[in-house]
Amino acid sequence: MTAYVALTLLGLWAAADRFAPYHGAPAACRVGHVIDGDTVALLCGAEKRVGRLVGFDAPEVKSPKCKAEAAWGAQATDRLRALLSGPDVMIYRQGTEKYGRDLVLITVAGRDVAAVMIGEGLGVDYHGEARRNWCG
């Protein structure tokens, strides 16, 4: 009976972390690689996940609407790679978005990556509203 209760509690704990993670705790993940200026591949133990950085939106590289967006998206991707290649990278899960990606806040040496990208003109403040037209 004790083993059944322990296994049930462990299962509930795992489900709670997946669907409503504690927002203040660092995730047990690391960045595998940068997909684009606001999306990363995460390695969480043996599990591979995709993380969408919260707080900003970067130009698209996969399906840009114009050449300017493609070039700007490449710059944002390169800058995010450079930021995340340094030490002191911390990842904080903030939930899951409508496409199933983890929403993550990432800091480097205590600085919010979203704020850095926005400050350098490689992204704009974004919280789920209509996306910016990078071509106009």
DSSP letter (8 states) at residue 26: B
Task: Sort 113 into a burial class: Cβ within 10 Å, 0-12 / 13-18 / 19+.
Answer: buried
Mean pLDDT of 12-16: 47
User: What are 18-50's pLDDT values in tens digits?
Assistant: 444 444 567 789 999 999 999 999 999 999 999
Higher pLDDT, 17 or 24: 24
Task: Sort 109 into a burial class: Cβ within 10 Å, 0-12 / 13-18 / 19+.
Answer: exposed
Is the Cβ–Cβ distance between 38 and 56 less than 8 Å? Answer: yes
Mean pLDDT score of the chain = 85
User: Which residues fall within 8 angstroms of residue 36, CB to CB, at 6 or more apart?
Assistant: 58, 60, 61, 62, 73, 76, 77, 80
Is pTM beyond 0.85 here?
no
Q: Is residue 72 over pLDDT 80?
A: yes
pLDDT of 3 = 52
pLDDT of 132 = 85
Is the Cβ–Cβ distance between 50 and 42 less than 8 Å? Answer: yes
- Residue pointed to by tokens 């995460």: 42
pLDDT of 134 = 87
The Cα–Cα gap between 93 and 20 comes to: 9
In the structure, what pLDDT confidence band is assigned to residue 1 with cuts at 50, 70 and 90?
A: low
